[in-house]
Amino acid sequence: MAGSGLCQERTGFLFSHNCDCLAAYSCASCGKEICDRHMHETESGTMCTTCAKATRRASREPIDDPYFYSGSYYRGYGRYQPGFWGYHHYHHHHVSDWHDRDDFTEADAESVQAEGDEGFEQDMGAS
Amino acid sequence: MRATTGQHWLIYALGGGLGHLTRAISLGRGAGQQRHTVHILCNSPFAADLPLEDELPAGSAVTRIDPHLGRAEVAGQISEIVTKGDYDALVVDTFPRGLGGELPPLLPGIKCPKILVHRDLNPQYVRDFDVSTAVKHFDRLLVPGEPAACDQHTHAVVTAPWLIRDHDELLDTDSARRVLQAPATGHLVVVLGSGRLEEVGLMADIATRLERKLEGRASVRFIAPRLAGSTAIQHTNLWPLLPAVRAIDLLVGAGGYNTVNEAHVTHTPLLAFAHERLYDRQTARLRPEEMVSSESEMVTRAVAQLGARPAVPLYDNGVHEAARIIATEGRGC
């Protein structure tokens, strides 16, 4: 079992961000402290989503857990050029006086990306 | 190999550059003076070129982990050594969670006393990775001469800076000049190429420019453990540099732990870049008058500042107090 810190996994559908849940386990591969949601039981032991994903990718096992989904599962989503999902909607409605206040903007992206993206504990040549 | 009389300590000194490694070697020398031995773990790309074992007491060892390995492979090697070795103390330099975050699952199972060498760290890392919790795994925090995030912790002891040579081990000026291959008289500027490999190249360029600017006024020596490509100036492969400090009128380098502390305790004039680092804050270590922001400024200020160096004062080397404290904590696992 892990200590009393927060889960150190970073996940997100649009942008990766810190998880706010309390850590309950440690990843057997990288040692990261992880919560229930980001814990995966594998043949190699308890793993975080990142390590479990890498292990499954290497072994080419089928992926059926939504936590492992990435951009490749949603190809074209979020693009608005002709031929992509949403083009018709934006082509006909996206004018200067039309704006959905719940739209996710670049400013929102910056707010969730500001912290923890420095690569701490990833660079083995850092000092 | 376990010592027959003293204790045997495992020192975790992973990290790029020379800082972690030099601090670990300094502690190893301090341990040797108290009849203890050490096993140092490092992954610095410079380690392969340096005669590290020659600095350490007999019975000590250095494990040079391949600097190209990723965090998972490094974690595997660390786990193997840390959990299966027979040590009287585990000393972890700078990173209480390990450089790749691999230590938290290992530390609770390690029965010997655990000591953290608590150098300054990026506050964002301290906050985001809950370093204060990781610090609780350690029986003692040794703060090597500069402010650090948890230096007020009840288990923290602040020592003088850790240095690779004591005052009485420094060469006299003439001997130092010979070691540096410098003329017997005249001012001497030493440009230090360390840090990342590309920074070694930058410092080589500065040394070349200074040599041209100072022709007839001073000698310039470029000291580097390894060069990033060929440069116009010849380099001297001298490590450690500290023994030769009495010959140096001006030191040109960067704001890493060893360069700055060696300059400060020996009163050696210093001009330095504060390089960006993931964890280390070189701007916090350098004095404002030492900090330089560009190559051209470095050359201009070095030329203007050149003069005779002050005498080296008596100084205290914190490794001796640190070794005494670790030995007090240490016991059979």
d(CA B57, CA B1): 12
Distance CA B56, CA B39 (A): 10
Nearest CA-CA distance, residue A7 and chain B, Å: 10
Quickly tell me which residue has 């400060």 as its tokens.
B264
- In this predicted model, what pLDDT tens digit does every residue of A20-32 receive, in sequence order? 788 888 888 888 8
Distance CA B30, CA B315 (A): 15
- Whether residues A31 and B72 touch (CB distance < 8 A) is answered with no
DSSP string, A22-58: BP-EE-TTT--EE-STTEEEETTEEEEHHHHHHHHHH
Residue of A nearest to B128 (CA): A116
Q: Which of A1-15, A50-64, A97-111, B303-317 has the highest mean pLDDT?
A: B303-317
The C-alpha of B3 sits at a distance from chain A's nearest C-alpha, in angstroms, of 31
Asked if pLDDT for residue A113 goes beyond 50, the answer is: no
Touching B: A residues 24-83, CB under 8 Å: 26, 28-33, 51
Q: Per the structure block, which two tokens stand in for B77? A: 């090697």
Confidence at residue A51, expressed as pLDDT on a 0 to 100 scale: 83
User: Nearest-CA neighbor of B117 among B331, B333, B325?
Assistant: B325
Q: Check pLDDT > 50 for residue A95.
A: no
Please, are residues B133 and A5 in contact by the beta-carbon 8 Å criterion?
Answer: yes
Two tokens, residue B184? 């017997």
Q: Could you tell me the two tokens for B328? A: 């007090």
Distance separating alpha carbons of residues B110 and B114, to the nearest angstrom = 8
What confidence tier does A124 reach under pLDDT thresholds 50, 70, 90?
very high
Q: Is 0.80 surpassed by the pTM of this model? A: no
Q: Is the pLDDT of residue A109 over 50?
A: no
Name every residue in B having a CB less than 8 A away from some CB of A.
14-17, 19-20, 43, 45, 67, 69-72, 74-75, 94, 97-106, 122, 124-125, 128-130, 133, 136, 196, 256, 277-280
Among candidate residues B280, B108, B107, the one with its CA nearest the CA of residue B194? B280
**Upper half-sphere CA count for residue A118 (Cβ side, 13 Å):** 16
Residue A122 CA to residue B143 CA, distance in Å, equals 25
The total number of residues shown for chain B amounts to: 333
Tell me the backbone φ, ψ of residue B141, rounded to 5 degrees.
-110, 125
Residue B237 has which token pair? 């492969």
- pLDDT, tens digit, 9 for 90 and up, residues A58-89: 565 555 555 555 444 444 444 445 544 444 54
- Tell whether the model's pLDDT for residue A1 goes beyond 60: no
Choose the closest CB to B278 out of A28, A115, A119.
Answer: A119
List beta partners, residue A39. Answer: A48
Number of Cβ within 10 Å of residue A11's Cβ equals 18
Q: Determine the 3-state secondary structure of B64 from DSSP.
A: strand
Give the span between the Cα atoms of B77 and B99, in whole angstroms: 13
Higher-pLDDT residue of B220, A43: B220
Q: List CB contacts of A103: < 8 A, sequence separation 6 or more.
A: none
CB contact under 8 A, B128 and A32: no
The minimal CB distance from A126 to the residues B16, B97, B256 is found for B16
Pairwise CA distance, residues A123 & B14, whole Å? 11
Q: pLDDT value at position A94?
A: 46
Picking from A4, A6, A118, the nearest residue to B124 by CB comes out as: A118
Q: What is the pLDDT of residue B231?
A: 67
**Phi/psi of residue A12, each to 5°?**
165, 150
Alpha-carbon gap, residue B193 to B63, rounded angstroms? 24
How many CB pairs below 8 A link A and B? Answer: 91
Whether residues B102 and A18 touch (CB distance < 8 A) is answered with no
How far, in Å, CA of B324 to CA of B188, rounded? 37
Q: Provide the pLDDT for residue B333.
A: 43
Provide ipTM, 2 decimals. 0.89
User: Strand pairing partners for B10?
Assistant: B39, B90
B247 beta partners: none
Q: At what angle do helices B318-329 and B19-33 cross, to 10 degrees?
A: 70
Q: pLDDT tens, position by position, for chain B (333 residues)?
A: 554 579 999 999 999 989 999 999 999 999 999 999 999 999 999 899 899 999 999 999 999 999 999 999 999 999 999 998 899 999 999 999 999 999 999 999 999 999 999 999 999 999 889 898 899 999 999 999 999 988 888 999 999 999 999 999 999 999 999 999 999 999 999 999 987 877 888 999 999 999 999 999 999 999 987 655 566 788 888 999 999 999 999 999 999 999 999 999 999 999 999 999 999 999 999 999 999 999 999 999 999 999 999 999 999 999 999 999 999 998 644
CB distance A127–B277 less than 8 Å? yes
Pinpoint the alpha helices (H) of chain B. 19-33, 52-55, 71-84, 123-128, 131-135, 173-179, 197-213, 257-266, 282-285, 295-305, 318-329
| Cα(A77)–Cα(A94) distance, integer angstroms | 17
- Return the H-helix or E-strand segment holding B222: strand B218-223
Q: b or e along A28-52 (b: 16 or more beta carbons within 10 Å of the residue's beta carbon)?
A: ebbbbbbbeebbbeeeeebbbbbbb
Q: What is the pLDDT of residue B159?
A: 98
Cα pseudo-dihedral B145, B74, A114, A106, rounded to 10:
160
Contact B12, B86 (CB under 8 A): no
Contact list in B for residue A123 (CB cut-off 8 A) is 278
Contact B98 A31 (CB under 8 A): yes
Q: Are B232 and B208 in contact (CB under 8 A)?
A: yes
- What is the spatial distance between Cα B75 and Cα B251, in angstroms, rounded to a whole number? 37
